[in-house]
Structure 1
Amino acid sequence: MTKLQLITQNLVDTIIKLSEEAEEIYILTSFVMKSGVKRILPALQLAAVRGAEIKICTGDYLHITQPDALQLLVEELPKAEIRMWQSGGKSFHPKAYLFRKAEEGHLIVGSSNLSASALTSGIEWNLHAPPAADEEIFEEGLAQFERIFIHEFTVPINKETVKQYRKTYDHFHREQSIVRTFTEAEEIETMFSEPNDQTQIVVDPPETYITKKEELTPRPAQQEALEALENTLEEEYDKALVVMATGLGKTYLAAFFGKRFKRILFAAHQKELLVQAKKSFLHVMPERSAGLFNADVKEKEADTLFASIFTLGLKHNLESFQPNDFDLIIIDEFHHAAARSYQSVLNYFQPKFLLGITATPDRMDNKDVYSICGGNTAYRIHFIEAIQKQWLAPFVYYGVYDDTDYSALTWLGTRYDEEELLQVQLKEEMAKKIETAWKEHRQTRTIGFCSSIKQAVFLSSYFNSKGWKTAAMHSQMKGYSREEAIQALDSGKLDIIFTVDLFNEGVDIPSVDTLLFVRPTQSLTVFTQQIGRGLRIAEGKSHCVIIDLIGNYRNADIKLQVLDTDPGANNRKKKSVIPTVPENCQIEFDLEAVELLQEMNRKKNPRKDQLYYSYEDLKLELGRRPTYLDFHLKANADSKAIKEFYKSYPGFLHSIYELDEREEEVFLQHQDWFKEVERTSMTKSYKMVVLLYMLSKGQDSWLEPVTPEEAAPFFHSYLTSKEYRKRIDFSDNQGRQLIEYDEKKVAALIAKMPMTKWSGSANGMISFKNNQFRIHIDVEKEHEETLFQWTKQICEYRLHRHFERKGESLDRVQ
């Protein structure tokens, strides 16, 4: 048997040798330096050329990682996926190198970070576990790598995030001269304490269903969704999205729907969700086999396979399946589907039907997943609507004033600096305020959502000292196991569970009737998920109390739209900072909290701020300037506000100083044209389809005049190539779809509808005379490319938004 190998020098030789044949390469180090990257870069580049999958994760602890090292990785390994753990001042120092070829996995763990000295002549100890030494250790190492790599504390590394990190790196080292000397020396290595384990989630308790002759009967919301999916199948769609509020049983819905398919793949991003889903499916279909596919077990032959999206998405695992192995693929928590790991799975498989299910899409109107599901949102019910239908418990919301000055805290892109936040949170005065508010409004069983483990432990200790029975639930909890804590709260033996993110997705205690928010809430998705933890209907529970600390943190005013029956109306009217809640709910605020929200509105326009913050976040995520459609699909903001506030997307870019000198000239010279393309009315898509045809001719020819006859083939092909386009826009007055191509009819339609109509409303910029449609713009040669690209961006955005909006309206009518 091959033994473990101790490597004390020249680890680089082993890394290079293993990289030469590896199909998958995973590197996890606490920091990276340019000298180390240079040593292994040629081997990684050769592996990338062969098609190897490469993922690298490092950290920003003490800002030892060099920006130049990150930039080198980004520039020289463009196909690698690189992420950085944002430590927030907490120690982060893992060192692991994983390589896999076919069924053989090599794991190296030890002391060597990615620097020249650590890889060559430094005093380092590293243990190499080859395949024959331990068959399970590689998979366990890969599972641990996955937990860190996809953790919410990691951010993608690209050109934009490197720029941002370089600023914080330079600022840190200006203030810390000792560390600067250390990093310049570079060959010196250091050790730090072990990082905390990643928080894991706990699964739902089994749901109770009405049974008839021992057969499960769908609940009302599930029945409505099943009928909508039936219509989707009849209309010959092969993809659909169902948005169903937490507590309405979306996993059971998927199981009911899955009964009509022979082989099913259910994919999610958490192991515990898969275990829970497996139980639900076996409850509905006990006669079928069900298996798990994750880092620990791979039961590939099961009728229904429940797979970790990360494990399944690895090249070695993905290619062990045939693309048509599954008739139905279900993606749970589908709001994650834009992530890279999901995309590789979605691109590989070819199921008969793809079903996305989610409770809280990242973008509140599901636009991020619209195109992935072929434009088909089969069913949608927000928790507000479910409350109105009495399918979920109503709530009583109390907005409690928090006088903490969050504006003085450092913002790390997605969250506040943890150490700075703790300095204001871990005070007895703050704990006393929280206890006072909780005692005044609480009911019987409470979940308290905290920013960090330290805050959860601190508050639990404080409350216990006051005679309450509480527990802090986290990855290193003592005294109670997770299951024991949940049972104790459910039975009334505990008053509160303080936690961080354990109850975001897939976790419920139906009897919980009080939610306590003692953290700044930036994410609307997380806020919605956490509210859902208190809305399940349970015996003896009349409503859920929500106690929420309101301070001047980011999105404090914006997050309240989650509770609004019509958040858009409140934005338009701008009459009140208080949302309008369902009739069977109540909402109350401390006077100081109302004054704070009003002051925040006076000082800024929260919707404009959200546009800017969302743009910056997305730019960092993509590593480049987002296109207009990128912003609409992926930014955590309403793209409609761009036209409202800035008249056009180039106008928005101009207002936030994103344009260089040449682009500035293009915008100022042609801003009226951008406004026209952005604002021209569109009952149908026809104007933009004609413009898209002109743009399809290329940068040098798109301004040449066109005739209706010339545009007809493109026009007809575009509107009939997608079922939802044809269904929405390409039918006659009797609703009959114009499927057969007739140049004469299509040309006549084009001449009448977009060309004649647009020429009469474009302030002279567009004409239609002598059967020629022309755009009247004088363009300087050096401006041609920018004008073309921006026009194309607006055109593509408007077409996507048009069909999305019309499709949603049609879905609601049906």
Structure 2
Amino acid sequence: MQNIKFVTGNLRKELTGLMNDASSIYILTSFIMKSGVSLLAPFLKEAVDRGAEVRICTGDYLFVTQPDALEMLLEINPKIEIQLYRSNGRSFHPKAYLFQNEDGDGSFIVGSSNLSNSALTSGVEWNLMINNEVDQEVYQEALDAFIKTFHHEQTITINKETLKDYRNEYENYHERHPDLLRQWTKSEEEVLTLPILIEQPEIIKESPVVYGQLTPRQAQKEALEMLSTTLEEGYSKAMVVMATGLGKTYLAGFFAQDFKRILFVAHREEILGQARNSFRNIMPERSMGLYYGKEKEGEADCVFASIYTLGIHRHLASFDPNDFDLIIVDEFHHAAAGSYQKVINYFRPKFLLGITATPDRMDGKDVYAICEGNVAYQLHFIEAIQKQWLAPFHYYGVYDDTDYSQITWLGTRYDEEELTLIQLRDEMADKVLEAWRAHKQTRTIAFCSSIRQANFLSNYFNRKGYRTVSLNSKTVGITRGEAIQRLDMGTIDIIFTVDLFNEGVDIPSVDTLLFVRPTESLTVFTQQVGRGLRLFAGKDHCVIIDLIGNYRNADIKLQLFNTEPAEVKNGKKAAIPSVPSGCELNIELAAVNLLDELNRKRQPRKDKIFGDYIELKKELGRRPTYLELHLQGRSNSREYKQEFKSYAGFLYWADDLTNEEKKAFVDNEDWLVEVESTGMAKSYKMVVLDYMLSRGANNWLNPVTPKDVAPYFHYYLTEKEYRKRIDFSDKASIQLWEFDEQKVGKLIANMPMTKWSGSSKGLTEFKEGIFAIRIDLPVSHNEIVYEWTRQICEYRLHEHFERKEENLKLLV
């Protein structure tokens, strides 16, 4: 094969030739047509079937990408990963094809050809095909650029659910622009010649911050003690939730000293460099290696790897699953993502440690399953302030009269263009300036919605005589390290930024935070607040200046500061929270009135949990199971039962059942509600039901005896230490730790079978030593009711032990 080849026609021949022996195939095109997918589908299918990794990223610019084309890709093989770049009207026009084989050899093609028939066969196209032997560095840059675009925050994963949304948007757009659709339908393969403008975050490396005395702080000591107990109890996984500013990375480093080889995984390359420096300070005798981009030091004692690089099949396969004794996942709240799951499931370490300041759900349930229900240590920033391990805050809520209800909500954020239009006004900037002047201290970080807003406000403040910089991925003339140093020295007043300071950056001297953006993510808001709470000489408190408008989460976010988060009547919380001693909450009267109004008008709970359900369904690409709803959903899973008596009842209300499922639900609602609501001081009822379900859909309703259930029952409750500790350690059952069929059978007969039979209104029966479920199921409903029962049982067992474990920790 030529090292460099100029291709002006029949690119399909070159692509299919490279696909034949590729172990990794990455395609990035501005749009995809059905005709292009049809050409490559057989070759993509063959590649995935033999184990190749296939990732495809395309864009929605002008809605040229056909929904049918995306559906065709989904149907080839579910292992093909597809991302759609949400351009929001901005031009998106890359065309690139990258290939690698098992030997590490690779080629990439860049040029003018999108994924369409004419572009790959007969069209006038110019493409350059380059073998990686020509320039390994350029090839690696192309690969890194693809990975960053594929995982860009503006991309969404294409699955059956998100495709429905895109299809609706596509059809609505072309209803408004019918000429464009006719043009594409007629020629289908015309190539738009618009400029490429992909925003890629700049990777900025900064000098490490010297930690000082290398002994654990008090919070780290407590966490290390709990982790030590976790190891003694035989756990192989754990999560630590520790507020920003308490030294999570150093905690991980101290913990890692007792392990031989360590893998530290993070999603930002700068975090990897900082973590390596921290570990080196603790363990100078160990070798430290980075694994991302151009640096592949995978043989070191401690390897610090980018999740995106490690997620590439070729790189992951270069390690043996048993290579590492300890794996540490930084910012563990990301761990539910597919890229993390791929890495976590590949390795077999002696221990997996997840560290985070902000689980996606404030109670951490989204990652509970990943760490086997073991949250070894939790210390949120409110508790850390109360312990005087973080600085107190003085919060100033400033009324913002912007009407955010008129701005398009895109599911997780406001439309950037519409939001920017209302933010780039002098009167808005003047209000921000006055609020800052009234409450500021010495060093400020201001969090903005967009680069344009950051630049606008920085220029406005500079014109008013203040010294500010806008620091973002497009900034030239000053690095992040220089900006931090100047802020620390007091030679500038404010750094305006978008998201560069969310995770992994320490600036202890910052004493003022300015929020000039609507709060779209509570996780991000918590991370940003943490940037100002580190203790620092001469810093008594951190000032938080926050614009409060009628945007989503405006009232909810204040609960992050609450020392008493208990709910009040009707499931609502007071709009104004109670804050820790030494902290202040100062909110303008107009903002107080707005918060009260938002609290009163908060969407009904049914609508909210329905919206959260739909968001999770889109993320998964299918209907979530009951346990997935609990672990990953944004609403508390109990709310579904409270409102609809059962998860199946919610699905019936939401009109998300087939006609046969609807009939099965109506006919068997009493049984499903019984399984959902039967009392569970212990897990015993559900363990018996779990045994019955384990026999399969055809046999689950067959009656059982205590003797039948006994071996399964005993094994289930003694298999996991936490189950035995919670539900099998009282006086009545501790003698049964060694299996005795007769004694265990007697316990089962007396406890779950007799009690459930007496409380189930005839739906279960225990008579003459036989336990039975008394429901009549036609053959057409059996599979449906079996699956719903299985999901409820799975959910209730998990939730029972999760809740009991948390209660035990509170008592310690």
Q: Under a length normalisation based on structure 1, what TM-score does the superposition of the two structures give?
A: 0.96
Q: Which residue of structure 2 lines up, in the alignment, with residue 112 of structure 1?
A: 113
Residue 206 of structure 2 contacts residue 480 of structure 2 at CA under 8 Å; is this kept in 1?
no
Q: Which residue of structure 1 lines up, in the alignment, with residue 256 of structure 2?
A: 258
Q: Deviations over 1:512-545 (max 9, x none)?
A: 1111222222222111111111111111111111
Q: Deviations over 1:49-77 (max 9, x none)?
A: 11001111111112111111111111112
Distance 1:50 1:537 in 2: 55
Distance 1:160 1:309 in 2: 26
Please state how far the C-alpha of 1:44 moved relative to its aligned partner: 0.6
Distance 1:444 1:697 in 2: 68
Distance 2:559 2:791 in 1: 29
SS in 2 for 1:93: coil
Distance 2:559 2:205 in 1: 28
Q: Sequence identity, in percent?
A: 60
Residue 23 of structure 1 contacts residue 47 of structure 1 at CA under 8 Å; is this kept in 2?
yes
Q: Which residue of structure 1 lines up, in the alignment, with residue 590 of structure 2?
A: 592
Distance 1:400 1:666 in 2: 53
Residue 97 of structure 1 contacts residue 109 of structure 1 at CA under 8 Å; is this kept in 2?
yes
The more displaced of 699-708 and 199-208 is 199-208
Distance 2:205 2:221 in 1: 24
Please state how far the C-alpha of 1:607 moved relative to its aligned partner: 4.8
Please state how far the C-alpha of 1:643 moved relative to its aligned partner: 2.1
Q: Which residue of structure 2 lines up, in the alignment, with residue 139 of structure 1?
A: 140
Distance 2:201 2:153 in 1: 11
* Correspondences of 1:346-425 after superposition (within 5 Å): 346-425=344-423
Please state how far the C-alpha of 1:2 moved relative to its aligned partner: 5.0
Please state how far the C-alpha of 1:303 moved relative to its aligned partner: 0.9
SS in 2 for 1:267: strand
CA RMSD, 1 decimal:
2.0
Q: Which residue of structure 1 lines up, in the alignment, with residue 188 of structure 2?
A: 186
* Correspondences of 1:108-187 after superposition (within 5 Å): 108-184=109-185, 185-187=187-189
* Correspondences of 1:183-332 after superposition (within 5 Å): 183-184=184-185, 185-200=187-202, 206=208, 209=211, 211=213, 216-332=214-330
* Correspondences of 1:87-106 after superposition (within 5 Å): 87-101=87-101, 102-106=103-107
Does 1:616 pair with 2:617? no
Q: Which residue of structure 1 lines up, in the alignment, with residue 25 of structure 2?
A: 25
Please state how far the C-alpha of 1:561 moved relative to its aligned partner: 2.5
The residue type equivalent to 1:189 in the other structure is: V
Q: 1:777 to 1:596 in 2, by over 3 A?
A: farther
Q: Which residue of structure 2 lines up, in the alignment, with residue 667 of structure 1?
A: 665
Q: Deviations over 1:738-783 (max 9, x none)?
A: 4322111111111122112222222332222222222222334433
SS in 2 for 1:599: helix
The more displaced of 29-38 and 472-481 is 472-481
SS in 1 for 2:506: coil
Distance 1:735 1:536 in 2: 48
The residue type equivalent to 2:653 in the other structure is: S
Q: Which residue of structure 1 lines up, in the alignment, with residue 34 of structure 2?
A: 34
Residue 98 of structure 1 contacts residue 108 of structure 1 at CA under 8 Å; is this kept in 2?
yes
SS in 1 for 2:303: strand
The residue type equivalent to 1:190 in the other structure is: L
Distance 1:471 1:763 in 2: 70
SS in 2 for 1:44: helix
Distance 2:793 2:569 in 1: 26
Please state how far the C-alpha of 1:284 moved relative to its aligned partner: 0.4
The residue type equivalent to 1:524 in the other structure is: L
Residue 29 of structure 1 contacts residue 94 of structure 1 at CA under 8 Å; is this kept in 2?
yes
SS in 1 for 2:759: coil
Select which of 652, 655, 659 maps to 1:654: 652
Distance 1:179 1:502 in 2: 39
Please state how far the C-alpha of 1:208 moved relative to its aligned partner: 5.4
Q: 1:618 to 1:716 in 2, by over 3 A?
A: same
The more displaced of 523-532 and 170-179 is 170-179
Distance 2:569 2:60 in 1: 39
Please state how far the C-alpha of 1:160 moved relative to its aligned partner: 0.6
The more displaced of 197-206 and 82-91 is 197-206
Please state how far the C-alpha of 1:729 moved relative to its aligned partner: 1.6
Q: Which residue of structure 2 lines up, in the alignment, with residue 44 of structure 1?
A: 44
Q: Which residue of structure 2 lines up, in the alignment, with residue 783 of structure 1?
A: 781
Distance 1:692 1:121 in 2: 60
Residue 567 of structure 2 contacts residue 573 of structure 2 at CA under 8 Å; is this kept in 1?
no
Distance 1:588 1:760 in 2: 56
Distance 2:252 2:266 in 1: 13
* Correspondences of 1:494-505 after superposition (within 5 Å): 494-505=492-503
Please state how far the C-alpha of 1:717 moved relative to its aligned partner: 1.9
The number of residue pairs the alignment matches comes to: 810
SS in 1 for 2:395: strand
Q: 1:200 to 1:541 in 2, by over 3 A?
A: farther
Distance 2:323 2:46 in 1: 32
Q: Which residue of structure 2 lines up, in the alignment, with residue 7 of structure 1?
A: 7
Does 1:508 pair with 2:509? no
Q: Under a length normalisation based on structure 2, what TM-score does the superposition of the two structures give?
A: 0.96
Please state how far the C-alpha of 1:21 moved relative to its aligned partner: 0.3
Residue 204 of structure 1 contacts residue 508 of structure 1 at CA under 8 Å; is this kept in 2?
no
The residue type equivalent to 2:149 in the other structure is: I
The residue type equivalent to 2:615 in the other structure is: D
Distance 2:152 2:319 in 1: 27
Distance 1:740 1:24 in 2: 52
The residue type equivalent to 1:325 in the other structure is: D
Residue 399 of structure 1 contacts residue 548 of structure 1 at CA under 8 Å; is this kept in 2?
yes
Please state how far the C-alpha of 1:619 moved relative to its aligned partner: 0.9
Q: Deviations over 1:478-519 (max 9, x none)?
A: 342222222222222222211111111111311111112222
Q: Which residue of structure 2 lines up, in the alignment, with residue 70 of structure 1?
A: 70
The more displaced of 606-615 and 645-654 is 606-615
Distance 2:733 2:355 in 1: 31
Distance 2:676 2:492 in 1: 56
Which blocks of at least 5 consecutive residues in structure 2 are unaligned? Answer: none
Q: Which residue of structure 1 lines up, in the alignment, with residue 429 of structure 2?
A: 431
Does 1:739 pair with 2:737? yes
Q: 1:734 to 1:257 in 2, by over 3 A?
A: farther
Q: 1:698 to 1:534 in 2, by over 3 A?
A: same
Q: Which residue of structure 1 lines up, in the alignment, with residue 451 of structure 2?
A: 453
Distance 1:296 1:475 in 2: 20
Residue 443 of structure 1 contacts residue 514 of structure 1 at CA under 8 Å; is this kept in 2?
yes
Select which of 550, 554, 563 maps to 1:556: 554
SS in 1 for 2:513: strand
Please state how far the C-alpha of 1:615 moved relative to its aligned partner: 1.3
Which blocks of at least 5 consecutive residues in structure 1 are unaligned? Answer: none
SS in 2 for 1:136: helix
Residue 201 of structure 1 contacts residue 503 of structure 1 at CA under 8 Å; is this kept in 2?
no
The residue type equivalent to 2:647 in the other structure is: Y
Select which of 641, 644, 662 maps to 2:642: 644
Please state how far the C-alpha of 1:668 moved relative to its aligned partner: 3.1
Q: Deviations over 1:310-329 (max 9, x none)?
A: 21222211222222111111
Distance 2:716 2:548 in 1: 49
Distance 1:805 1:649 in 2: 19
The residue type equivalent to 2:130 in the other structure is: A
The more displaced of 710-719 and 156-165 is 710-719
Distance 1:530 1:16 in 2: 47
Please state how far the C-alpha of 1:202 moved relative to its aligned partner: 5.6
Q: Deviations over 1:67-93 (max 9, x none)?
A: 111111111121111111111212221
Residue 311 of structure 2 contacts residue 342 of structure 2 at CA under 8 Å; is this kept in 1?
yes
SS in 1 for 2:777: coil
The residue type equivalent to 1:260 in the other structure is: D
Please state how far the C-alpha of 1:206 moved relative to its aligned partner: 4.5
Residue 239 of structure 2 contacts residue 354 of structure 2 at CA under 8 Å; is this kept in 1?
yes
The more displaced of 497-506 and 749-758 is 749-758
